[in-house]
Amino acid sequence: MTTDTLATDCSRCAALCCLALAFDKGDDFAFDKNPGEPCRNLSGHQCSIHDKLTSEGFPGCVAYDCLGAGNRVVQEVFAGQSWQKNPQLTRPMMEAFSGMREVHKRIDLLRAARSLPLSDRDDQARRDYLARLEQHRWSGPELNDFEVGLALEIDLWFHTLRGYLPG
């Protein structure tokens, strides 16, 4: 079975968003949470208020989508392990999740660029980048380096596409 790289599957994640991400009390979240602080609504890897997030004051959680970064990190980089069973993994899993979110954001943008009237050369470059990001089996150190390496290269390439956009 092949699944889309950008498909989020919380059942194969370890609640990384509910651990790693910070939010502020307001319209989208009912209390403040710091990065790396497990949400107090977590029960194992599940949200204990999943079915009533909006009415409980957490529409921000409903709106959030990691684009499959969490499940990919847990399965591909950490072989299904969890920071809950092995607290030493907390920091490396948060760092890898951050890097993979950047990888998956670029995959999303590279797919969207398919709708531009790209030259054959630019479309080949687009497909080459996509293949690298989707097919590579990432390690934690590679994900940590992604933003200062390949992500910058891809972002600079995106700038060269500005001529395709309506002026």
Query: Among 8, 13, 58, 110, which residue interacts with ligand SF4 (rule: CB under 6 A)?
Result: 58
**In the bound complex, what is the minimum distance in angstroms from residue 139's beta carbon to ligand SF4?**
27
Query: Among 14, 16, 61, 74, which residue interacts with ligand SF4 (rule: CB under 6 A)?
Result: 61
- Give me the phi and psi of 145, to 5 degrees please: -90, -10
Tell me if 47 contacts ligand SF4 by CB under 6 A: yes
**In the bound complex, what is the minimum distance in angstroms from residue 162's beta carbon to ligand SF4?**
37
The amino acid occupying position 51 is D
Asked if 68 and 6 touch (Cβ cutoff 8 Å), the reply is yes
Q: What is the CA radius of gyration of the chain?
A: 18
Residues 30, 8: Cα–Cα separation, whole Å: 24
Q: What residues are paired with 105 via a beta bridge?
A: none
Stretch that binds ligand SF4, among 39-47, 84-92, 105-113, 119-127 (CB under 6 A): 39-47
Query: Among 13, 14, 16, 18, which residue interacts with ligand SF4 (rule: CB under 6 A)?
Result: 18
**In the bound complex, what is the minimum distance in angstroms from residue 22's beta carbon to ligand SF4?**
10
The amino acid occupying position 140 is G
Tell me if 20 contacts ligand SF4 by CB under 6 A: no
Stretch that binds ligand SF4, among 38-46, 68-76, 78-86, 153-161 (CB under 6 A): 38-46
Note the helical H segments in 15-149: 16-20, 59-63, 69-72, 90-112, 120-135, 140-146
